[in-house]
Amino acid sequence: MRGALALVRTARSLGATVWFANPGTTEMPLVTALDEVPGTRAVLGLFEGVCTGAADGYGRMTDRPAVTLLHLGPGLANGLANLHNARRARSPVLNVVGDHTTWHRDADAPLTSDIAALAGTVSAEVRSSRRPDDLARDFAALHARVSASPGCVGTLIAPADCQWAESGPPPAEATLPRPEPRQPPAERVAEALRRLRSATRPVLLVGGLALREEGLAAAARVAAATGARLVCETFPARLERGAGRPAVERLGYFPEQALAQLAGVDLLLLAGAREPVAFFGYPDAPSRLVPEGCGVATLASDAEDPRPALRALADELGAPVPRGPDAPRPEAPASGPLDPASLGAVLAALQPEGAVVVDEGATSALPHFVAAAGSRPHTWLGLTGGAIGQGLPCAAGAALACPGRRVIALEADGSALYTLQALHTHAREGLDVTTVLCSNRRYRILQVELARAGVAEPGPVARDLTSLDRPPLDWVALARGQGVPAARAETVEAFREELSRALAAPGPSLIEAVL
């Protein structure tokens, strides 16, 4: 048995059967092995950022790691931005990166690089196999590490000679049970109970696994029993929302927004979330967004599963399951100009039950989040690490993870350009992904930042660097060129018609919504 074959068989036995791949010369033994192991699915991404973003989406929806297969250090480097997002989302992702043969590394060939250093920027653990027998063992050990809940990113460096050389059978570690979720110590519940009872204006800040249905139900019980406001992270990895589910206030993006939300709060209780900080450092604005005089207590860190602690806290409080008023069912306008508000309302009204909404719509998508509070129950995936180019690949991974559920990629034109190649994966795999492309033909968030910096009249360079209209992008042609049916909508009527048609048809589609 070759080392590559032992690795792929070990992956299959552990349930890691989906590989998002952009291989090169040093990965050819693994490519051959993928053909030899039934039950393994290899998905081509035309850019490594598509592979890593898709693995992130798959991991968020299954809580199991997909595998990425990448080519040397440059291939890994191309995928780092979406591995950064996956790390912030605590998604289980396992990268297998080919390397030069062990005896060729000292030659310093043109593609030689420090793969371990690159991988270390996003990985909780990096292993570099030295012998053929190590490949499967190292994979099994990394799989156990990244599968522990909440997940993480792990990277295995696989020299080409270790892949093709003879190896022993897959290791016994491949039969190990899935690791138990990391749970906070019991004394945290007693401390949280004490702090909540002495607080007058508490906020329960939830993130991670607290935003799944079970966690939200327990968090809502705690909030109802204590009068705490229920607030979630600005960009949650996965949030279950819609009619019949607890309403959660989302922490503002800009520091002044978050500070205004938290003004007067005397206790911030963290459950699966980190202490809030500003996304950037601004003049005369704090980095830490906890108000002066507000205490902070941790029920569960972002590296722990907060759900058992939330249930225990709710039980200690004797909190019944609350039943508050549902958010109003969104009503779509029948006609009128297409802008972010009308687009968000139409999408919120028409999106089907069980939809997975991957939101990288930036400024244009904000009205949809508000409107969709009363939509049919759905899952919302956010841009956790802020590295754009996540939306289209993440949608591909979510669709592969959840066949039968409609995935909606709510995407901004500027962000979509970073990983446009994901549309090819949507078409190649026949994925049920409807992409709503918010086409305002500009980097609107940068224009907002210029205004916030006091630049009332940007100069010609600033205007040019924040504009996408020279020449204007033809998203219908770009999508069709990769095999995705596409249409353009410039009015509410046209958008309603095209969205209804796209959601009713199997397979991928794209609607360029000109705003």
- Write the DSSP assignment of 72-125 as a string of letters: HHHHHHHTHHHHHHHHHHT--EEEEEEE--TTTGGG--TT---HHHHHHTT-SE
Within-domain flag for 450: yes
User: Closest Cα to residue 23, out of 46, 7, 1?
Assistant: 46
The CATH number of the domain holding residue 346 is 3.40.50.970
pLDDT of the residue at 380: 98
Within-domain flag for 299: yes
User: Rounded to whole angstroms, how far apart are CA atoms 273 and 513?
Assistant: 34
Q: Quick one: 362 and 509 in the same domain?
A: yes
CA dihedral 488, 491, 495, 498 (to 10 degrees): -50
Per-position pLDDT tens, the chain of length 515? 899 999 999 999 999 999 999 999 999 999 999 999 999 999 999 999 999 999 999 999 999 999 999 999 999 999 999 999 999 999 999 999 999 999 999 999 999 999 999 999 999 999 999 999 999 999 999 999 999 989 999 999 999 999 999 998 877 655 556 667 788 999 999 999 999 999 999 999 999 999 999 999 999 999 999 999 999 999 999 999 999 999 999 999 999 999 999 999 999 999 999 999 999 999 988 999 999 999 999 999 999 999 999 999 999 999 988 776 678 888 989 999 999 999 999 999 999 999 999 999 988 999 999 999 999 999 999 999 999 999 999 999 999 999 999 999 999 999 999 999 999 999 999 999 999 999 999 888 899 899 888 898 999 999 999 999 999 999 999 999 999 999 999 999 999 999 999 999 999 999 999 99
How are strands ordered across the β-sheet holding 41-44? 41-44, 18-21, 66-71, 93-99, 153-159, 125-128
Q: Quick one: 78 and 222 in the same domain?
A: no
Within-domain flag for 321: no
pLDDT of the residue at 173: 57
Output the pTM of the full model.
0.96
State whether residue 83 is helix, strand or coil. helix
Q: Quick one: 214 and 168 in the same domain?
A: no
Q: Quick one: 53 and 153 in the same domain?
A: yes
Q: Which residues contact 63 (CB under 8 A, 6 or more apart)?
A: 92, 149, 151
Range of the domain at 450: 340-514
Last residue of a domain, one of 153, 175, 197: 175
Q: Quick one: 268 and 163 in the same domain?
A: no
Q: Quick one: 359 and 294 in the same domain?
A: no
The CATH number of the domain holding residue 241 is 3.40.50.1220
User: Rounded to whole angstroms, how far apart are CA atoms 381 and 383?
Assistant: 7
Which stretches of 22-92 are assigned E, i.e. beta strand? 41-44, 66-71
User: Rounded to whole angstroms, how far apart are CA atoms 179 and 477?
Assistant: 47
Number of C-beta neighbours around residue 472 at 10 A: 12
pLDDT of the residue at 50: 98
pLDDT of the residue at 281: 93
Q: Quick one: 362 and 500 in the same domain?
A: yes
Within-domain flag for 180: no
DSSP secondary structure code for residue 456 in this structure: S
CB 30 within 8 A of CB 181: no
Within-domain flag for 7: yes
Q: Quick one: 171 and 203 in the same domain?
A: no
**Which tokens is 168 given?**
């022993």
User: Rounded to whole angstroms, how far apart are CA atoms 451 and 444?
Assistant: 11
Within-domain flag for 10: yes
Q: Quick one: 87 and 33 in the same domain?
A: yes
Q: Quick one: 170 and 200 in the same domain?
A: no
User: Rounded to whole angstroms, how far apart are CA atoms 405 and 508?
Assistant: 12
* Phi and psi torsions of 271, nearest 5°: -130, 95
For the chain, the domain total comes to 3
Q: Quick one: 234 and 259 in the same domain?
A: yes
Beta bridge partner(s), residue 240: 379
Q: Quick one: 370 and 404 in the same domain?
A: yes
